[in-house]
Structure 1
Amino acid sequence: MGDAFVNVGPEVRVNNKRYGMEVEFDTVNNVFNISSGSTGEALAGGSVVGVDLAQNASSVAVGRYNLTNLGGRDQTDTAEFATNKIGKGANQIMGFPREGIEGYRPPTGLVSKPAVVVGLEGLMDMTQPFTITTLANENIFNVVVGGVSASIAIPEGNYKGDTLAVALEERINSMKNPISGQSVGGVDVKYDAVANNLTFTTATTGEGNTLAINGALKFGLKDIPLGLGETTMVRQPVQATDELGRPLFISPAGEIVANNQDFVDNMVENFYPLYLDEGELTFDRDGQIVSPITDVKYAGGLTELTLDFSTATQLDQPFSAREVTQDGFSAGRLTNLEIDTYGNVQAGYSNGQNVVLGKIMLASFASESGLKQIGNSTFIATAASGDPELGEGAEDGFGQILSGSIERSNVDITEELVNLITSQRNYQAAAKAIETSTSMTQTIINIRS
């Protein structure tokens, strides 16, 4: 293994790639150690609590086919994949024969889970085309995958939710740590048209995987929780023994004994592992326990119980509260409403509590003069104004919200005074015309008479 060698085979197709595999070379024993980077044994769907669909076992295959002296596949080798996994076969490749792999450990437990980050609902309908610009750095996304971090810049242009997901996925999987050389691959980015949000999933699984995303509020990626991978813990039951190594049992009376002949018929002979969260019990509508299921044989027959209620009491003795503690708040009445510069509508109560009832959002347009007025202070968007861009008060590109302030008049007093004088002059001219017409009519009448 001391000689250098170069892999000249074709690259694995994207759909066939796997991530998280660890390969170490033991220089002392001159052997490779390979782990799949995942966990999980083969389980049928519904056979174990928490496993609804069939679960495949985690496995590693090395040297799937016989090789020729030139390094190509031996075409006479017709063995299938199932017989070529580690632990089977007779071909040696880099110290991995098809059978007799020393130290092979089968997987156990549930499949480990990847780190998943689910974005919030976007402020706009991302099934429709929208434009991404450099305004307020809305095209910048800060991403951390494991130990690799980067600020990703999406090119300006028109996007939809699915095309934005493709652009993010392509750039995230191109991230690389310039110092350690660690790279990112296999991160999946999907857009959910129903929930109108983005979901990020790592290709690697296990509790060592982390994923953090931070982007613009309009995409639902502002201050979202960190994604963490999960690995199940498998604990095998161990037979309890005494100081002499003899097995110990629990009798029906709850005593620890070394002889189980008196209750051998009640012993649990068949069992299978259950993977549950700590303290989790499941009951049906009738109150019967569903999980965990215990295969206990109750062959002891009926037991007679004698209950004595002669000394039982309920409320025939006086009582008083020794101590009263209060950790809540008294009832309060609404005393005031306030709106801060960020648009938060807060209600104040007489018990000193303040509750945020909602938030006022702001809209910005590329051309405010293109808005169409439909009321005294009501406008609607047009093609000339462009689509509205929603944001919060005091955010970059948006103004502050001033609660309780009266808007100053936007009327030009000089212009309105000129219009008033013009209207007055027009009225006077019309009045003079009517007066002249009346005088001429009277003169004509006098002449004819």
Structure 2
Amino acid sequence: MSNAALHVARTGLDAQNMRMQVIANNLANVNTTGFKRDRASFETLAYQAMTAPGAASSESTKYATGTNLGTGVQINGTAKIDTQGSLQSTGNALDMAIEGPGYFQIQMPDGRTGYTRDGNFNLSQDGTLVNSDGFQLQPQIQIPEGAQNITIGADGTVSVTLAGQTEASEVGKIELARFINPAGLQAGGNNLLTETSASGQPQVGAAGVDGRGNIRQASLEGSNVNIVEELVDMIETQRAYEVNSKMISSTDQMLQYVNQNI
């Protein structure tokens, strides 16, 4: 029984340690553009049924509750909390933020499409819109050489004014992707997420249509990490870790008592 208690407490230490890692990652990315905080969820491990509820306790009676002993806890997953981050004006015409659901589409080097809320874009040497790592925005937007003014509408329409012209010319339209279950996207590096079977297929289209958010030019979306909430979660996790550690210490003392006195 005591050895089982040691195992249960160890699973608690492992789970709280993983939760602390999730919190640490949230706090580390408090200033990351478009970052969505993660939340760890827990589930019980299998129970040991010593006596099943309803089993016969005598010839004429049955156990009302039974005896079930838990074997511990584990983290069953981490999910991104997809709430809106605060929008910050930058004054840079190529910066974009999404107000509402949706993701920018990025062409990754391996040919797959990545999805991001990070709207920090720049121009490549040939005038195409790329993110800070040089990955192209999809669909590709080409800005003509000599463009004096770049305007990006709420629906994603990109227009430029060329030298010698008074009216703006449309050069492309940014499309956003939306997912039925955005929490099911696979997080990777470089602020990019990838599609999974859990997220469902992307629903791609113009911004502001079919539930997709609007695009705000010259702004960036900040992280949705709340430092105060994370610190409260960190203290709670630390206390839970200490309690499980105390359980191991107490169980060890019980085993020592048994070995010395029985």
| Fold match by TM threshold 0.5 | no
Q: Say which structure, 1 or 2, has more relative contact order (CA 8 Å, 6+ apart).
A: 2
Higher-Rg member (1/2): 1
Query: Scaled by the length of structure 1, what TM-score is found?
Result: 0.19
Q: Higher helix share goes to which structure?
A: 2
Query: Scaled by the length of structure 2, what TM-score is found?
Result: 0.32
Q: Higher strand share goes to which structure?
A: 2
